[in-house]
Amino acid sequence: MAEPTIETPPTVALTDHHSDVVCMGCGCLCDDLSTQQRSDSSSDSADPGMLTILPACSLAHEWFAGLMAEDGPACLVRGRPVSIEEGTAAVRAILATAKRPLIAGLSNTSVEAQREAVHLAERWRGVLMGHASPVAARVHRAAQAAGLVTSTLGEVRQRADVVVLWNADPVVTHPRHFERYSLHPKGRFVPRGRKDRQLIWIGSTPCASSELADIKVIFAPGRDVEALSVLQGILNGVELDEKMVLRQTGVSPDVWRDLSTTLRQARYGAVFYDPNLSPESAIHAEHDARALMQWVTLLNETTSFVFHALTEGGNGSGLEQVVAWTTGRSGILDFGSGVPTVLTDVDSAQDLISRRSVDAALFVSSDPLREWEPAEWRRLGFIPTVVLSNSSTATSSSATVWFRTAPLSYAAGGTVFRSDGVALRVRPITSSALPSDEEILRRLVCLA
């Protein structure tokens, strides 16, 4: 008699559900996501390809895909695997000999980690990059100079009957912005949602968002300040030079007058601006943003308007908040004298490294070499570098010390700030044996 065939049962897939997950893929920081991650019961780690995110856009999938854990040692010193204790000792040796270390790249980590980074810069008398990018720094300076009338995005959702996009394309850069905050949601004072809202697009390059606009104004490229000067002049009752307006902006003065009339009739309006879409963005962002903020202030003399910058993903807003409340300053800070001093003649870490103004560098959750020019790669190679990141990058591969850390919003929790200043609590959707950025930075602070 033949022996019975024993069928091997299929491998059971374990499913882990999480709700109210925060995505940091763009400045919206959507906090309403649900994730479902299946893992093979025969494996100790989850398969990244088995993570389902709902509702989600392409940026959310890209964000979480970039956070998937990689196998490898928790710390490398000059390419050699070591314990975290040995790694922190190596960092202490670097900082002890450095006269002016740089601490940068903090826009993708938690508020708690950013706070430790400020303490580290203070104790080792280093330079702290207090902005997410040169563009963010310039927009912040514009707000300091012009003043800022703003609100939460929740208020825009509940009140705004006119939404103005100035050189912005949220359909591409912030895919759920219209859905969650600015155009489609029903609000207390706009109960019919999109039907109660007017979308106005103003810019120089038509885009996906401009195709959805009720009113579209296209002016000459790079003429943002000139166009805003015309709009400010109309609000101030200045008589326009018809030919000059047409020559400088490429738009008839009558179009600008009709637009101003429409805006004055708004009950509550919101102006959204994307500084990263401006031509030569870092150079023009400050001037354009300042002119926009001044225009919004003028609009508030006859109606209610608020200004919002469409920021990049991550926690750049949190970094600005932390630096402000811990130091009383903002921007790029030098702690060399024992007190924070704002450096107004630099915009980025590249500036400091190219001038050889720093003799060591610590980068947290960032990969600057991905964006820098080859000449700046060589300059970075002359100083010892420390990197905290969840995956191997060009910067971590060349680092003197590399700590592999648990990525925020995937395997580490903390606090982040949305672009409108609303704090959100981030909870991890999986566990990790790796330390968080906060844990490593706290260890380094304690070594001082």
Residues 160 and 39 in one domain: no
Q: Quick one: pLDDT band at residue 241, thresholds 50, 70, 90?
A: very high
- Taking only the tens place, the pLDDT of each residue in 73-118 is 999 999 999 999 999 999 999 999 999 999 999 999 999 999 999 9
Which pLDDT score is estimated for 39? 64
In terms of residue numbers, what domain contains 232? 136-309
Which pLDDT score is estimated for 40? 56
Residues 88 and 55 in one domain: no
Record the pTM: 0.90
Structural domain contains residue 91:
yes
Q: Does the structure show a pLDDT above 80 at 46?
A: no
- Taking only the tens place, the pLDDT of each residue in 127-157 is 999 988 888 888 988 999 999 999 999 999 9
3-state SS, residue 408: strand
Structural domain contains residue 4:
no
Question: In a 10 Å sphere around its CB, with 0-12 CB exposed, 13-18 middle and 19+ buried, how is residue 407 labelled?
Answer: buried
**Contact status, residue 367 vs residue 389, Cβ threshold 8 Å:** yes
Residues 291 and 207 in one domain: yes
Structural domain contains residue 70:
no
Residues 285 and 360 in one domain: no
Q: Is-cis flag, bond preceding 407, omega within 30?
A: no
Structural domain contains residue 400:
yes
Q: Quick one: pLDDT band at residue 12, thresholds 50, 70, 90?
A: very low
Residues ≥6 apart with Cβ < 8 Å to 220: 204, 226, 248, 249, 250, 251
Which pLDDT score is estimated for 376? 65
> Letter for the amino acid at 71?
D
- Ranges 271-280, 337-346, 418-427: which has the least confidence: 271-280
299 vs 266: CA distance, rounded Å: 10
Residues 147 and 230 in one domain: yes
378 vs 62: CA distance, rounded Å: 30
Q: Does the structure show a pLDDT above 80 at 399?
A: yes
Mean pLDDT of 282-310: 93
Structural domain contains residue 3:
no
- Compute CA distances 332 → 184, 187, 340, 352, 357, whole Å: 38, 39, 9, 11, 13
- Ranges 35-49, 173-187, 281-295, 307-321: which has the least confidence: 35-49
| Mean pLDDT over each residue of the chain, to the nearest integer | 89
Which pLDDT score is estimated for 8? 32
CATH number of domain containing 217: 3.40.228.10
Q: Quick one: pLDDT band at residue 375, thresholds 50, 70, 90?
A: low
- Ranges 5-14, 64-73, 231-240: which has the least confidence: 5-14
Sheet of 101-104: strands edge to edge? 80-81, 75-77, 401-404, 385-389, 360-364, 101-104, 127-129, 332-334, 341-342
3-state SS, residue 256: helix
Residues 108 and 169 in one domain: no
Residues 98 and 153 in one domain: no
Which pLDDT score is estimated for 45? 45
Residues 249 and 293 in one domain: yes
437 vs 411: CA distance, rounded Å: 11
Structural domain contains residue 401:
yes
Residues 142 and 284 in one domain: yes
Residues 153 and 255 in one domain: yes
* Phi, psi angles (nearest 5°) of residue 180: -95, -35
* Phi, psi angles (nearest 5°) of residue 407: -75, 135
Residues 318 and 176 in one domain: no
Q: How many domains are contained in the chain?
A: 3
Mean pLDDT of 394-402: 91
Residues 344 and 283 in one domain: no
447 vs 273: CA distance, rounded Å: 43
- Ranges 84-88, 139-143, 235-239, 440-444: which has the least confidence: 139-143
